[in-house]
Chain A
Amino acid sequence: MLFPTIDFAIFFALVFLGHWLLNPKPLPWKLFMIGASYVFYAWWDVHFVWLLAGVSGASQVGALAISRHSDEMRRRIAMAGGIALTIAPLLYFKYYGFFSLNLTNTASSLGLNLGLPLVQLILPVGISFFTFMAISYIVDVYRGNTHVASWIDVFLYLSFFPHLVAGPIVRPDELIPQLDVRRDPRHVDIAGASWLIFGGLFKKVVVSSFLASTVVDPVFGDPSSHSAIDAAFAMVAYAVVIYTDFSGYTDIAIGLARLLGFQFPQNFDRPYSARSLQDFWRRWHMTLSRWLRDYLYIPLGGSKRGDVRMYVNIVVTMVLGGLWHGAAWTFVFWGLYHGIGQAVGAWKRAHLPPRPETPMVVWGQRLSTFALVCVGWTFFRADSMGTALTLLGRLVVGWATPTEVVTPLVVGTIALMLSLQYVPRGPALVMQERMSRWRPVPMGLAGAAALFVIATLGPQGVAPFIYFQF
């Protein structure tokens, strides 16, 4: 079920009613929310419901096994076993096909026949997200950062529909305690939630759809016939598309959770105002960044084992982060690119004196970081390394070709969305404060007007969110 659909609007209205009616009764409330979340998930493909339940069960078995042992070695074995059980479906569905194909072809080049069965599998939606959350639950129980929760809490923690298919990746200690506290029905933050939901819908339905269909898809579809200007605009437009698409989804998810009385962590903090790649990753998909840091980079040794090992750890973490986004060489390269970029940044910070904070230096850092990020997005979006390199090549050789996709509306939309990265939060908070004083009927009428404008400006039918495929 996609958020910007009538199906979901009806679903959410019913869930909202049931949620607040059952709120005083913890057990019926939890069962109701699990049921609603599984219906939400089954809307895509009912066959994969067992997978969500299986991953939830496996993570709880792992956590219980850890808690029943005091011996460190046994606790480690229990943790490893739990993680292996939890991650096995992800490895099979997402990566088996990719690795078996590449191994078969590599062996074939060497004259060998491995006889590996080649398969093509449908990737269950959201599997990367709920698997990562399941792993964080097991590891946090092992580390003592969270207690073993009840079975029902674990099932609800992993399936809670606002975060289920594309995050944010919520830690167990952020959500599980909220499940055991009754929410106050007298205080729903409707102004903050509406701001996030309607803003997210506008970003996804209007901005992302418009730039994707008018600039990004045509140019990435056939870069060789487009001009250098088209190629440059397509790269920048894709930066806006993926930001408005993914942050739009996250905003809606956080807003929906807020209407139900839950708080989710922030996932974006104006990422295109970053001054370095490290800064970018502190602002982009923040819940993934901290997951990679806490459950991959630090276990690899982080920065505690010398400079060289730290650089290697950064690169390895980012390559695996790239691979998390998809089983393709373009994603591996994208991760490697960001890993090397961050390692170089870490070396510079350690060995070069800091530059003065003049406006020119600050803006130079912002623009160069944005340019680096856009080059990285080119590999992320392209259907192959060849397409990405062709598009980058057009920046050099495509100056004789006239532009086909750049219009004043395209330029204006990109400029508006990028300039919003530098607008302080104050005015938005003031508007939310004013909205919060409205009565229910005027607020509903304003919501109807906003929905009408979004539906009118958006295309017929909305493409799924980009991050659903991850």
Chain B
Amino acid sequence: MTRSNTTDDPNPTLEHPDPRGDEARAAVPHGRETMPAGRVLIAMLVALLVWGLLYAPSLKRSSEAQPLGTRRTVSLWVLRPVAAIADAVALTSVTDGVMRAFGRDPNAAPGGTIDVPEPEELPTVGPSVSVAPEPEGPVTKDSKIRRPTPTNELRVVVVGDSLAAGLGVYLEREFRPQLVRLSRQGRISTGLSRLDYFDWMTAMRQIENGFEPDLVVVMIGDNDNQSLQSPGGKTVAEIGSFEWPKGYEARVEEFSRIAVDGGAHVAWVGLPIVQRKERWDVMQRQNDIFERVVIPEPNALYVDTWDRFSTRDGQYTPFHWQDGKAEVIRAADGLHFTPRGYELVAEAVTEAVVDQFRLTPKALAD
């Protein structure tokens, strides 16, 4: 530790070179001591290593949730023994206690948790009214969604990945708040492939039990070009294998079934066309699966966004033309939407829900 040259300047500038050599020394306020670089490195390494030990269980869980690949393998190779040491010396139980004291769940899923209103706050769900299909309306579904009232609002939940998170914001604006209560449950980076990162099946059951939605709007799948993992982290089907499409379709069915069996109607929003053409093949196959699962279901409908946001010749465009004027509707990443784009997706969803589930237009905002 070395007593520095001193100055009272709180925003010091570089001093003149040290008279003993041609080295410059950063000026520090009066009374503050400096440290040689080698010792600073020791302090940095101690900080990183001890923090790594303290936080090893959380780091390990985060690493397990990373996309499969070299980075994940190397991270786990380093972190598993560190986490084992932390467990062996009972450090994990201490840090878990500290985390709980801060209101954090040390065993929470890496993708976050679902926070839904308490069930007792909710009125009971009215039964769906089955009606005969109208002869001239092939788009009309068999089941009509209930008519909301100010004392028994229609409960809508938007679930899925970051696209759903964006859609939820703008879908909420489409509804009349006095008649529709919307819960936004989009979780970034999630999907149906990596249930070890975020278990959407469990989350959907939690939402069904806690929120008892009348309408579930799903927009999911953008992050699903990965091997199917179980909630426990076991590989169920490798990406690219013959088992993958079957396994993925089974998950889509299960997810949809949880919502429908809970009494809700489902509006499944397909994946939109994206800028990177190399992703088109997989995404269109996912959309085929969504359609195949959803369309036969009387209480479910499919909202296409692929063709809706393509050019006439089926190409990607970030623009939407209306009355001779252009609007930017896609974000610069070539995947997400701009606010105006999400508005258009939300309009497409509400149009479909009004047309096919015959939601009363009074439930929509002016």
Contact = CB atoms under 8 A, between A and B. Distances in A.
Partners in one complex: yes
A446 B21 CA distance: 34
Given A178-B14, A186-B34, A190-B35, A448 B54 contact: yes
A67 interface: no
B1 A447 contact: no
A192 B45 contact: no
Contacts of B110: 460
B43 A440 contact: yes
Given A105-B326, A108-B325, A265-B11, A460 B32 contact: no
Interface string A110-147: 00000000101111000000000000000000000000
A184 interface: yes
B98 A181 contact: no
A173 to B, nearest CB: 11
Given A432-B32, A456-B104, A441 B43 contact: yes
A225 interface: yes
A455 B55 contact: yes
B23 A183 contact: yes
B249 to A, nearest CB: 29
A444 B333 contact: no
A241 B106 CA distance: 26
A120 B32 contact: no
Given A225-B172, A432-B32, A181 B23 contact: yes
A13 B51 CA distance: 14
B229 interface: no
B34 A183 contact: no
A303 interface: no
Nearest to A430: B31
A185 B37 contact: yes
Contacts of B1: 436-437, 439
Interface in B20-65: 21-29, 31-51, 54-55, 58-59, 62
Given A261-B26, A455-B55, A184 B18 contact: yes
A9 B55 CA distance: 15
Interface in A1-60: 6, 9, 13, 16-17, 20
Contacts of A432: 29, 32
Contacts of A439: 1
Interface residues of B, number: 70
A203 B50 CA distance: 22
A189 B45 contact: no
A225 B47 contact: no
B17 A188 contact: no
Contacts of B59: 6
B43 A433 contact: no
Given A181-B14, A263-B13, A460-B62, A187 B2 contact: yes
Nearest to B59: A6
A440 B48 contact: no
Nearest to B8: A429
A400 to B, nearest CB: 11
Main secondary structure of the interface of B (DSSP, over half): mixed
Contact of A105 (B24, B172, B325, B333): B325
A187 B37 CA distance: 7
Contacts of A415: none
Nearest to A121: B332
B25 A187 contact: yes
Given A104-B326, A456-B104, A263 B12 contact: yes
A22 to B, nearest CB: 12
Given A447-B47, A456-B98, A181 B17 contact: yes
A444 B45 contact: yes
Contacts of A447: 43-44, 46-47, 51
Interface in B87-114: 95, 98-99, 102, 104, 110-112
- Interface size bucket, A side? 35 or more
B343 to A, nearest CB: 10
Contacts of B172: 221-222, 225
Contacts of B95: 452
Contacts of A441: 42-43, 46
A443 interface: yes
Given A16-B44, A444-B46, A433 B13 contact: no
B32 A191 contact: yes
Interface in B288-335: 318-319, 324-326, 328, 330, 332-333
B147 interface: no
Interface in A446-470: 446-448, 451-453, 455-457, 460-461
A283 interface: no
A441 B45 CA distance: 9
Nearest to A181: B24
A406 to B, nearest CB: 17
B24 A183 contact: yes
B210 interface: no
Contacts of B67: none
A425 interface: yes
The residue in B10, B44, B48 that gathers the most chain A C-beta atoms within 10 A of its C-beta is B44
A204 interface: no
Interface string A181-222: 111111111111000000000000000000000000000011
Given A13-B44, A191-B33, A429-B29, A457 B23 contact: no
A183 to B, nearest CB: 6
B339 A185 contact: no
A224 interface: yes
A444 B41 CA distance: 9
B28 A120 contact: no
Interface string B329-366: 01011000001000000000000000000000000010
Given A181-B14, A190-B40, A122 B28 contact: no
A163 interface: no
B104 to A, nearest CB: 6
Nearest to B99: A456
Given A181-B22, A186-B34, A436-B32, A448 B50 contact: yes
A444 B32 contact: no
A457 B99 CA distance: 8
A383 interface: yes
Nearest to A265: B11
Contacts of A75: none
A430 to B, nearest CB: 9
A101 interface: yes
A263 B27 CA distance: 9
Contact of A13 (B17, B48, B325, B326): B48
B28 A192 contact: yes
A368 interface: no
Contact of B34 (A9, A97, A190, A387): A190
B4 interface: yes
Nearest to A17: B41
B262 interface: no
Contacts of A177: 14
B58 A16 contact: no
A118 B326 contact: yes
A258 interface: yes
Contacts of B46: 440-441, 443-445, 447-448
11 contacts: A9-B48, A104-B325, A108-B325, A120-B319, A120-B330, A186-B25, A187-B35, A432-B32, A440-B39, A447-B44, A448-B51
| For the complex of A and B, 3 pairs with smallest distance between CB atoms | A444-B46, A447-B47, A448-B50
